[in-house]
Amino acid sequence: MICFGGVCIPYTAVIPLLLMGVRWVLSKLHQYGLLPGFIADYMNLKQAAHDQNKSSTSSPAANAKPAAGEESRDASAQPNTVKALKSEEQFNALLRKDEKFVVKFTANWCGPCKKIHPFYKQKCTEYKAYDFLTIDVDDFDAIASKYSIAMMPTFLILKGDSVIGTCRGSSKPELESFLDSHLR
């Protein structure tokens, strides 16, 4: 174990953590055009950048879609679904609505995040009056930093710019209790 203050990391986790950090730095360098193409190809960074550019440079007609939660909430016609955050503008629109909504901070490499996601989707259908959102911390690091997200999954209930409650981890009973206490 390697310990820094109150945080201990097993030796077996050091190399994956370092590699994750290197990949993140390389993706940022590629995003700003400071990384040679052959390295971006080797690290499979071009596809991620293409997907990110595609979502940010979509046509005005595509941007005319209502932000998450703005569609009608006729529960009998359309079940509530978990929405993946597509842009910071979408997130800011939810903040301006000044209504409670649930956010799951996640990452595509996070096993516990994937494990709890079916349960999160189930809870979304139970609480039809609220928007349920997932935010990938690798894609939206500014939002994750704003809310000091240090572990995944982390669930927040927000109203406007205020954090109403926080739940960390992939425990189904804890998440269920958290949602019941803040949304009922």
Residues forming the active site: 110, 113
Which residues lie below 8 Å from residue 178, measured CB to CB, with a gap of 6+? 155, 157, 165, 167
CA pair distance 75, 89, nearest whole angstrom: 26
Map residue 144 onto helix, strand or coil.
helix
DSSP of 43-95, one letter per residue? TTHHHHHHHHHHHHT--HHHHTSPPTT-S---TTTS---EEE---HHHHHHHH
Q: Which amino acid is at 30?
A: H
Distances (CA, A) of 78 to 81, 104, 128: 9, 22, 10
Q: How far apart are CA 67 and CA 90, in angstroms?
A: 5
